[in-house]
């Protein structure tokens, strides 16, 4: 599984834990809702600045965001 998908799944799981809609998250992170949708579906290569915005909106630090089994192995080839 590639990083874009991992990030998307992580965002979605944190968002649902907070009972937020994509619209809520988009507003709170100051990003476009349709963009959040495509990121969650692993279609977009999100930048670090926006990952931080989303993390903040979800109430976690970057460290916490990445402190998850999904990120225990990189998908990049050797």
- Write out the residues near DNA by the rule CB under 7 A: 21-23, 30-35, 37-38, 40-41, 43-47, 49-50
Residue 3, helix vs strand vs coil: helix
Interaction partner, residue 71 (a copy of itself, DNA, none; CB < 5-8 Å by kind): a copy of itself
According to the binding rule CB under 8 A, does residue 46 interact with a copy of itself? yes
Residues with Cβ within 8 Å of 14's Cβ and at least 6 positions away in sequence, in order, are: 58, 60, 65
Interaction partner, residue 33 (DNA, a copy of itself, none; CB < 5-8 Å by kind): DNA
């Amino acid at each position: 599984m590639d990083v874009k998908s991992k990030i998307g799944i992580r965002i979605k799981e944190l968002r649902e834990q907070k009972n937020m809609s994509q619209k809520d998250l988009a507003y709170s992170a100051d990003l476009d809702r349709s963009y959040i949708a495509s990121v969650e579906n692993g279609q977009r290569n999100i930048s670090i600045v926006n990952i931080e915005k989303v993390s903040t909106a979800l109430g976690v630090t970057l460290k916490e965001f990445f402190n998850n089994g999904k990120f225990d192995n990189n998908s990049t080839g050797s």
